């Protein structure tokens, strides 16, 4: 590459680096949580936990709490919960792709990120209503605020991204 072209490439701003690192950490936490719920509920439904596995006891307690809060914990209800965690676990992939595109200053990454995060927020409401975040998430309603806050922070940084399809703009 020529020197003139290299000198035109702006360095990645610190806020974008920080947001990207925090977003990737959030992705890893969320994906592990969602997919562990998926596999754990699957194992609980199929009684596949080994004897003495402490995870079986944890899931039994969680399922009892969900039942006490009015969640359907029948086999069909648990299958629906399992399916939901698979769907939102898969929704983490376009979120991460959007972060990667924004890190490399491809503006379309923001739209991908924002739409995927919005779907991640909305899909559980379709399955369980507002009880999802209070029954199934670590931070409850705080999870919603964190996701919305990150959409807003990435939106503020959108002006530092390049064109819709180029990282060199």
What are the start-end ranges of the E strands in the chain? none
- Has residue 7 been placed in a domain? no
Residue 36: name the closest of 85, 80, 72, 74 by CA. 85
Q: What is the pLDDT of residue 69?
A: 87
Domain holding 30, by residue range, is: 13-160
The region that residue 140 occupies, defined by phi over 0 for left and psi between -120 and 50 for alpha, beta otherwise, is: left
Give the H or E element holding residue 26: helix 14-45
In a domain? residue 165: no
State pLDDT tens for residues 148-166: 999 999 999 988 887 655 5
Residue-wise pLDDT for 44-62, tens only, equals 999 898 888 898 898 989 8
Contacts of residue 48, Cβ cutoff 8 Å, sequence gap at least 6: 42
Q: Of the spans 2-6, 117-121, 160-164, which averages the highest pLDDT? A: 117-121
Structure tokens at 16: 């974008």
Band of the pLDDT at 169, cuts 50, 70, 90?
Answer: very low
Q: Does residue 6 sit within a domain?
A: no
Query: Is residue 169 situated within a structural domain?
Result: no
Q: Is residue 5 part of a domain?
A: no
CA dist 142 and 147 (Å) reads: 9
What is the Cα Rg of the chain in Å?
A: 20
Number of domains in the chain: 1
pTM reported for the whole predicted model: 0.82
CB 43, CB 51: distance < 8 Å: no
């Amino acid at each position: 590459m020529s020197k003139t072209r290299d000198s035109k490439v702006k360095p990645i701003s610190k806020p974008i680096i920080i947001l990207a690192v925090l977003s990737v950490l959030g992705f890893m936490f969320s994906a592990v949580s969602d997919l562990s719920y998926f596999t754990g509920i699957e194992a609980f439904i199929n009684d596949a936990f080994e004897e003495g596995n402490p995870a079986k006891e944890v899931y039994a307690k969680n399922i009892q709490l969900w039942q006490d809060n009015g969640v359907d914990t029948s086999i069909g209800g648990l299958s629906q919960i399992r399916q939901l965690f698979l769907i939102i676990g898969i929704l983490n992939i376009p979120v991460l792709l959007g972060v990667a595109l924004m890190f490399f200053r491809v503006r379309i990454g923001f739209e991908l990120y924002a739409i995927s995060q919005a779907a991640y927020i909305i899909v559980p409401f379709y399955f369980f209503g507002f009880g999802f975040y209070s029954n199934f998430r670590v931070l409850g309603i705080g999870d919603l605020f964190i996701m919305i806050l990150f959409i807003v922070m990435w939106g503020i940084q959108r002006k530092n991204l390049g064109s819709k399809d180029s990282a060199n703009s």
